[in-house]
Chains A and B, each alone.
Chain A
């Protein structure tokens, strides 16, 4: 592990050296101006330890820093971990359970205070004190986390996060080795905030930051203004590069239709929300140069409740997987340019992904066509024909369309199906709670970080299922002890041999897919529409478009 990390950091250093002159040159020429972004609504709280949205995470990139970061680079390079506030990637000892970071010197927060070891230690404690949404999962392996989870207010993480002010080091102790800990530390939930940040959700109040930018104004009903951090001096171009625009103005409240028009007219530069489907044809023809299509590590899928009839029967689940025409779903999403059919859990180009599709006319590696005869036969064999199935979908145009299509598929193969759209604000939690007795639903999963476990272990492990809870992310209620044990083995193996672990994850992916606890529908792509003046568009696979790495003048 240690050797691997050292090699990675050397490579990162070389890459940084190669990139530096080009960016410096461009910075002179294109630096300045205001980039205007639009979204239908704000992303919720400003607090980076709590916000758990794509929109928030994308905006935090030029603002906050952790000890390590995902490299601010285009494409798959964006999955690489690089040192950020730490001078280098950590020294790993104690059989992979202890990580020692040396903090960089001379970094200041946007309010002028110096960054110190105490800020790092306090930030780790704050993750638990504010009951961060991933405190019980991503960071539960830190020594002392169990006590913090039980009593958040008096969290000290004693023995878990140890700071040495004199040496400028922070030592992180884990209860057991975790191959994914650096990914978890590079997420916004683990960024370093000033030690005196109140241990409560800061809501609309900006927290001082170390990055190239800072939030200078925020009104959840109007917008957010992000300006340059006056105390920022670039220390690592690949972790926290300086940006081009002087100001990022993010306005909320405009509908998607109005946002498209604003961008076309040059009144705005980009919109967060998906483009309205009735504008795709026009934009794809008239504004080709302003569109950027990028792959996503995401999964649209239909969880089938493994604990409720008719989908407590494996054959009934497989029947649905055989019957669904993925091409139709791709059409509903906007066509092949914007989505690709899938059968399996792990998205393409993702660690552990090996093409696999058993639920198609010619089973093999790729989906080709639905097999309705096989589906009908399986429904007959399962003895579930004629049973009632309700599909719960989000009340959005695309989800409703998918729901209506799935309803007609289920009717075709012998079920009495209906579809219920419910508000997007509650659908995701509603379908997780077993009390709501949801038989089938349509939802999406976007990776937190590039590891197979972020899909397989989170969505299908026994531990992810919680009876009667709104936070039971194993929506299908799937629990297979053998597969669970294998996932644990793969996680352990990742500490010493990630390649071998990924091979194992590929096997787990196949096994989970075969059991059909959920039906894979398609892998979406991200379509970004920018104004004509936006230059240097770069899409990072981890956090999407790197806003401040584009210029507007």
Chain B
């Protein structure tokens, strides 16, 4: 009897519950999610940390002096030996709130900038992911469902975007927009705005989402329930909204962490090249760029954000894989060109 009840309750569980249970059993995915959420939490606490530490992570503080074990220590230490050339920023103190990871060449607290940088990186990659998913899904739905000339035009346009090396396209768009911003009719985005990298990254990855979605919609378009709805005279938009979109939701969900990881890498690369987040704002990419000039004396300034990017991207990818296995084990969704 008890076995029968258990079997019945298993039968009544919905697909989401099954997927969640499967995901919950995937230890690697759950551990990755936990680590990523910790990073997110830490980054969102950036203003609180800066306030608590009494530091302004965006202003030059070359003359700042801090106290370590009761002694005054200059944040920028001048070489006192030999010719007395150059200044070296203070190294890690390993004391939270007091230059935990040391200072950069402007005398700014690297830890505070790391948190703010992470916040920018997360916000940009998150917003770009939403932007890409909306555009990519819309393009995939329309091309796959309506077919014909619409499909041809949209697919060729996506092919053109696809044909460009991603970073080359992103760099070209960034260089064009970075100094003047974007002004199209009523839409006006000032140069230096965080929306610029969001839009640039969002656009370049549209084909990555649109093409698999189009493929799925094409196959759904010829499924019996869609053909039945068409024959019953249900309007196209309603079929797309009610019958097709729900069937591609799992794919879209799987895309979220994977796209976010990819966007985070792209954002960091653009910021490292000075065409993403603009100084004095921080992103992990700009902090690596700042740290490049200190590699010899203060390698942690570049290593810390590099490590943060690596951990974030790895956790997002592992979690994304787990999500895909849980939601749609047959899915062939992979990010990349092959």
B294-316 vs A, Cβ < 8 Å mask (1 yes, 0 no): 11111000000000000000000
Q: Nearest Cβ in chain B — how far from A328, in angstroms?
A: 5
Decide yes or no whether B62 CB sits under 8 A from chain A.
Answer: yes
A331 and B87 in contact, given A420-B178, A422-B179 (Cβ under 8 angstroms):
yes
Partner of A280, one of B79, B106, B191, B279: B79
Q: In the complex, are the beta carbons of B292 and A277 less than 8 A apart?
A: no
Which residues of chain A (272-330) have a CB below 8 Å from chain B? 276-286, 288, 291, 293, 328
Q: In the complex, are the beta carbons of A397 and B105 less than 8 A apart?
A: yes
Contacts of B59 in A (CB 8 A): 408, 411
Contacts of B279 in A (CB 8 A): 400, 403-404, 407, 419, 421
Which residue of chain B lies nearest to A293 when distances are taken between CB atoms in the complex? Answer: B83
Q: In the complex, are the beta carbons of B83 and A278 less than 8 A apart?
A: no
Which residue of chain A lies nearest to B61 when distances are taken between CB atoms in the complex? Answer: A408
Which residue of chain B lies nearest to A412 when distances are taken between CB atoms in the complex? Answer: B59
Q: Nearest Cβ in chain A — how far from B315, in angstroms?
A: 31
Q: How far is the CA of A278 from the CA of B84 in the complex (A)?
A: 13
Which residue of chain A lies nearest to B85 when distances are taken between CB atoms in the complex? Answer: A284
Q: In the complex, are the beta carbons of B280 and A419 less than 8 A apart?
A: yes
Decide yes or no whether B86 CB sits under 8 A from chain A.
Answer: yes
Q: Nearest Cβ in chain B — how far from A101, in angstroms?
A: 45
B155-199 vs A, Cβ < 8 Å mask (1 yes, 0 no): 000000000000000000000001100000000000110000000
Partner of A278, one of B60, B62, B178, B294: B294
Decide yes or no whether A140 CB sits under 8 A from chain B.
Answer: no
Which residue of chain A lies nearest to B104 when distances are taken between CB atoms in the complex? Answer: A401
Contacts of A430 in B (CB 8 A): 179
Decide yes or no whether B328 CB sits under 8 A from chain A.
Answer: no
Q: Nearest Cβ in chain B — how far from A263, in angstroms?
A: 15
Contacts of B55 in A (CB 8 A): none
Q: Nearest Cβ in chain A — how far from B95, in angstroms?
A: 24
Q: In the complex, are the beta carbons of A404 and B81 less than 8 A apart?
A: no
Q: How far is the CA of A285 from the CA of B274 in the complex (A)?
A: 33
B62-95 vs A, Cβ < 8 Å mask (1 yes, 0 no): 1100000000000010110111111110000000
Contacts of B295 in A (CB 8 A): 257, 278
Q: In the complex, are the beta carbons of A286 and B76 less than 8 A apart?
A: no
Max chain B C-beta neighbours (<10 A), residue from A277, A338, A405: A277
Decide yes or no whether B293 CB sits under 8 A from chain A.
Answer: yes
Decide yes or no whether B278 CB sits under 8 A from chain A.
Answer: yes
Q: In the complex, are the beta carbons of A284 and B83 less than 8 A apart?
A: yes
Max chain B C-beta neighbours (<10 A), residue from A280, A293, A422: A280
A280 and B280 in contact, given A404-B60, A420-B191, A420-B192 (Cβ under 8 angstroms):
no
Q: In the complex, are the beta carbons of A334 and B87 less than 8 A apart?
A: yes
Q: In the complex, are the beta carbons of B88 and A281 less than 8 A apart?
A: yes
A380-413 vs B, Cβ < 8 Å mask (1 yes, 0 no): 0000000000101001010011011101100100
Q: Nearest Cβ in chain A — how far from B272, in angstroms?
A: 11
Q: How far is the CA of A419 from the CA of B279 in the complex (A)?
A: 6
Q: How far is the CA of A280 from the CA of B280 in the complex (A)?
A: 25
Partner of A335, one of B60, B63, B87: B87
How many residues of chain A get a CB closer than 8 Å to chain B's CBs?
A: 43
Contacts of B44 in A (CB 8 A): none
Q: How far is the CA of A419 from the CA of B60 in the complex (A)?
A: 13
Decide yes or no whether B100 CB sits under 8 A from chain A.
Answer: no
Which residue of chain B lies nearest to A283 when distances are taken between CB atoms in the complex? Answer: B85
Decide yes or no whether A94 CB sits under 8 A from chain B.
Answer: no
Decide yes or no whether B49 CB sits under 8 A from chain A.
Answer: no
Q: In the complex, are the beta carbons of A401 and B274 less than 8 A apart?
A: no
Which residue of chain B lies nearest to A288 when distances are taken between CB atoms in the complex? Answer: B82
Interface of chain A, main secondary structure: helix
Which residue of chain A lies nearest to B76 when distances are taken between CB atoms in the complex? Answer: A331
Decide yes or no whether A13 CB sits under 8 A from chain B.
Answer: no
Max chain B C-beta neighbours (<10 A), residue from A282, A392, A395, A436: A282
Decide yes or no whether A254 CB sits under 8 A from chain B.
Answer: no
Partner of B280, one of A285, A390, A408: A408
Q: In the complex, are the beta carbons of A337 and B298 less than 8 A apart?
A: no
Decide yes or no whether A418 CB sits under 8 A from chain B.
Answer: yes
Decide yes or no whether A92 CB sits under 8 A from chain B.
Answer: no
Q: Nearest Cβ in chain A — how far from B89, in angstroms?
A: 10
Which residues of chain B (73-132) have a CB below 8 Å from chain A? 76, 78-79, 81-88, 105-106
Q: How far is the CA of A411 from the CA of B297 in the complex (A)?
A: 30
Q: In the complex, are the beta carbons of B85 and A331 less than 8 A apart?
A: no
Q: Nearest Cβ in chain A — how far from B62, in angstroms?
A: 5
Q: How far is the CA of A400 from the CA of B104 in the complex (A)?
A: 13
Contacts of B36 in A (CB 8 A): none
A418 and B88 in contact, given A257-B295, A404-B60 (Cβ under 8 angstroms):
no
Q: How far is the CA of A458 from the CA of B191 in the complex (A)?
A: 32
Q: In the complex, are the beta carbons of A335 and B62 less than 8 A apart?
A: no
Q: In the complex, are the beta carbons of B85 and A335 less than 8 A apart?
A: yes
Q: How far is the CA of A335 from the CA of B84 in the complex (A)?
A: 8
A278 and B179 in contact, given A418-B192, A420-B191 (Cβ under 8 angstroms):
no
In order of increasing CB-CB distance, the 7 nearest A-B pairs are A280-B86, A284-B85, A285-B82, A284-B83, A281-B79, A397-B293, A280-B85
Can you list 27 A-B contacts (CB < 8 A)?
A: A277-B105, A277-B293, A278-B296, A281-B79, A281-B85, A282-B296, A282-B297, A284-B84, A284-B85, A291-B83, A328-B60, A328-B63, A332-B105, A334-B87, A335-B86, A337-B83, A337-B84, A390-B191, A390-B192, A397-B105, A400-B279, A401-B106, A403-B279, A405-B60, A408-B280, A418-B192, A421-B279
Question: Knowing that A404-B106, A421-B278 are A-B contacts, what are 13 other residue pairs whose CB atoms are under 8 Å apart, sorted by A's residue number?
Answer: A276-B293, A277-B86, A278-B297, A279-B296, A281-B85, A293-B83, A335-B78, A335-B87, A338-B85, A390-B192, A400-B274, A420-B278, A436-B179
Q: Footprint of B on A, CB under 8 Å?
A: 257, 276-286, 288, 291, 293, 328, 331-332, 334-338, 390, 392, 395, 397, 400-401, 403-405, 407-408, 411, 418-422, 430, 436, 527
Q: Footprint of A on B, CB under 8 Å?
A: 58-60, 62-63, 76, 78-79, 81-88, 105-106, 178-179, 191-192, 274, 278-280, 292-298
